[in-house]
Structure 1
């Protein structure tokens, strides 16, 4: 069983060198936000499962770019290195970010959802530059993160506008209090 898991991890890791997986991963915030707004637990779970497997969706590149190799080596060294209390606390940020986004949208607060998501993107950028000594891997990762952040922000702004226009429409359609049922 252990050998099979090791082979599966190696297979997925090779595919994670395809930069398409880097560009698609931030976009999972969009369906996550949609399902959190709709308060759909099944949608949230399916989105998180898709996110967890997305690094293996694309074929392994024939010749990965040097910056990609560098960044993934930094990630691998980090994950396989000593797990200190600080590293555990930092790793707990990932579920806390998703919990924070879900809580914000559950309460219909697009602004707080954007704050949490943008904070997560900015933290990811800072993390990559902090742990990548020469910065080549971080530079390779930067474009995917920034494009993902802009697209997610655009999606959240569109969702906030739609929510606001629907709220206004409901307010206009609702009769004033005390007049319902009056002759």
Structure 2
């Protein structure tokens, strides 16, 4: 079997695994609570934005497996780390906001947010695939600021807890994209 065929099969496998984990996350209350308990460990908050880098690398190499493996890791990384012994009050408040957000049913606002998230991932993959570096940088910066703005506007003061991980992740993503761009030249 050709490598490109295996790569596409791997991509489809990780796409379906990602969909499956999202379905379980949203439909199994005990799994949902377990995941959010572990998500109190802010190490997962710092690592999640970094998965943009291997998604970009996957698109740069035109590897479906790397793209969808990275997306799978991004979604599952929220529960990779154990619950910390001490949790900041703002972190608990923000996660309570997110839990309510996920369990309160659909609205036009949520459909727009979901469409924006899907558009973000589609854009970073297609912009990298077609080597449009400035568009990729703009998309990553806009995506980070939209995440921060959404968190601050909709969760109140607890949204401040995601600013540092989001900004650090943005800086590291910009540096990685810069090095990929320089390598391309």
TM range (shorter): 0.7 to 0.9
3-state SS of paired residue (1:93): helix
Gaps of 5+ in 1: 165-183
Gaps of 5+ in 2: 1-23
Aligned to 1:46: 69
Aligned to 2:20: none
Aligned to 2:110: 87
Q: Is residue 171 of structure 2 the alignment partner of residue 150 of structure 1?
A: yes
Aligned to 1:29: 52
Equivalent residues, number: 160
Aligned to 1:130: 153
Aligned to 1:106: 129
Deviation for aligned residue 1:5 = 2.8
What RMSD over aligned residues (CA atoms) do the two structures have, in Å? 1.5
3-state SS of paired residue (2:28): helix
3-state SS of paired residue (1:108): coil
Aligned to 1:121: 144
Q: Is residue 40 of structure 2 the alignment partner of residue 10 of structure 1?
A: no
Aligned to 1:179: none
TM-score by length of 1: 0.83
Larger radius of gyration: 1
Deviation for aligned residue 1:101 = 0.5
Compare the two structures and name the one with the higher helix fraction.
2
- Equivalent-residue separation in structure 2 for 1:150 and 1:162 (angstroms): 18
